[in-house]
Chain A
Amino acid sequence: MSTKDLNFYYGESQALYSISLAFEIKQVTALIGPSGCGKSTLLRCLNRMNDLIPYSRAEGGVFLDGEDIYDPSVDVVALRRHVGMVFQKPNPFPKTIFENVAYGLRVNGIKDKTFLRDRVETSLKQAALWDEVKDRLHNSALGLSGGQQQRLCIARALAVEPEVVLMDEPASALDPIATQKIEDLIHELKTTYTIIIVTHNMQQAARVSDVTAFFYLGKLIETGKTESIFTRPRLKETSDYITGRFG
């Protein structure tokens, strides 16, 4: 997945300036930067979640498997099946654990019970939640702890077998132990999925990502291997930010 000269506007104000960035397949890319720098906006351009915001518009291209997802011929609904998303706050539906994970499959017209059961189990296992919930799949998802809920949301996103998983500060509402579990999970998942994660937590970006992109005021300032960004940033803004001098 990649973007080319992507500009994004909320009404009159421009939020992204000519972003060109390629996301490596089966790698974790971290988007970092101070609040309001456009990293979440960029993330939400990647599955066109920004379409929901009135008076917003995108210019330039976002490419998935060589196809521009902003092309008028693209079906947004189908696109979102290929680009899954995990949100900042755990947001399971007020349904059972099983129905939460099966939701994406059901809306895509899958009715086969055995298939649904298998996919739900696989997804919950992938999200490292199966052992904790296998005996209460038909209880409400709202009875789970915050960390479990977030892993459920990850399982829900994985169930439709996306290529890319977008994560918008997935651990910011969780305690350290739950955060640790999510980070371990991200390590596991990158063997199968391309992951793009927005985070405010420098240590988290350093721990989980392979590539880091630093944003400031809607511009992509610097990008490179996480290791080199954190040890030898080329630009002063980047080093100032990651060492905590501003932001």
Chain B
Amino acid sequence: MIGKTDTIQGRRKWLQGTMFGLFRVAALINGMALLLVVYFLVARGWRAINWTFLTQPPMDSMTKGGILPCIVGTLCLSLGAIFIALPIGVASAIYLQEYARPGRVVGMIRLGINNLAGVPSVVFGLFGLAFFVVYLKMGVSILAGSLTLAAMTLPVIIGATEEALRGVPSTYREASLGLGATKWQTIYRVVLPAALPGILTGAILGISRAAGETAPIMFTAAVFYTPSLPTSIFDEVMALPYHIYVLATAGTDIEATRPLQYGTALVLIVLVLGLNLVAIIYRSRLRKNR
């Protein structure tokens, strides 16, 4: 009897060990993938990065010089997108989660948002071209690009915000309403502050996506080459992801500009990381303050 139990115990232990091992390998593959990407970018790109690269426009048919207009353009586009998408996304999530009564209308809106999340980014680009650039006569501009990117990041932000709102204990809401607060006061003073770290996570995800996308800005905001920095939201800009794409596929000398391509990619990654870091630091400070 005892012997039999022991074999069963052994089998169970073996199974548990194997499964944990598999999970560990899966997690490692993830980490490795990121490390590999970063390693390649650093190994091939770091030589390209110097002061000129970061502070000058491209020169000599983009085979020399820097990528300053791309950095500025990408910053404008992704910050613009987040400034548009965050308020709309948070407001939508508040409506869906706190105000709307579950029913057919809300179901339709949810379905719409979920489908929006599944739309390929190039479709957003074409939509942006047709609607913002042509129909609303914004032209190829930061505004049109930001709006297109905003439309694309909305589902991410709405999803994250709804998740964050759901995570706020209903006892907070009850306590607040029980003290004679209105629903809006409850949301504004209790629910939103409690949900803010989660909302920021959504903003981080959104901004990372916006900064890295090529297709949505290809027809709406980004241009092949412009040496000047934008002065208004109606200017067209260069952008890091599009610049990489251009150098790698349509440049004047694709092989010679390889280091520049990797350098640009490295800058893009660092930029996204930097934007994320600001939000992450702010978020951890919020969490500490409660």
Contact = CB atoms under 8 A, between A and B. Distances in A.
A145 interface: no
A104 interface: yes
A19 interface: no
B177 A49 contact: yes
Contact of A160 (B171, B177, B180, B182): B180
Contact of B101 (A54, A77, A106): A54
Interface string B94-138: 000000011000000000000000000000000000000000000
Contacts of A85: 174-175, 178
Interface in B160-204: 169, 171-182, 185, 189-190, 193-194
B4 interface: no
A194 to B, nearest CB: 16
A107 B181 contact: yes
A80 B180 contact: yes
A70 to B, nearest CB: 17
Nearest to A55: B101
Contacts of A47: 178
B178 A77 contact: no
User: Could you tell me the dominant secondary structure of chain B's interface residues?
Assistant: helix
A114 B176 CA distance: 23
A87 interface: yes
Interface in B237-285: none
A85 B169 CA distance: 17
Interface stretch (A9-17, A88-96, A182-190, A234-242): A88-96
A94 B193 CA distance: 9
A133 B194 CA distance: 23
A108 B180 contact: yes
Contacts of A81: 179-180
B179 A91 contact: no
Interface in A85-127: 85, 87, 89, 91-95, 103-104, 106-108
B176 A93 contact: yes
A176 to B, nearest CB: 23
Contact of A103 (B169, B174, B179, B290): B179
Nearest to B287: A94
Nearest to A86: B178
A140 B290 CA distance: 6
Contacts, number: 70
Contacts of B179: 80-81, 84, 103-104, 107, 156-157, 160
A78 B180 CA distance: 6
A77 B193 contact: no
A84 B181 contact: no
B166 to A, nearest CB: 15
Contacts of B189: 103, 106-107
A80 B290 CA distance: 27
A62 interface: no
Nearest to B175: A91
A216 B189 CA distance: 39
Contacts of B101: 54
A81 B182 CA distance: 11
B140 to A, nearest CB: 46
A85 B180 CA distance: 10
A188 to B, nearest CB: 21
A85 B290 CA distance: 23
Nearest to B102: A54
A107 B194 contact: no
A90 to B, nearest CB: 9
Interface of B: 101-102, 169, 171-182, 185, 189-190, 193-194, 289-290
Closest 4 CB pairs of A and B: A81-B180, A104-B179, A91-B171, A94-B290
Given A52-B174, A80-B179, 13 more contacts: A54-B101, A54-B102, A85-B175, A91-B172, A103-B176, A103-B189, A104-B181, A107-B185, A107-B189, A108-B180, A140-B289, A142-B290, A160-B179
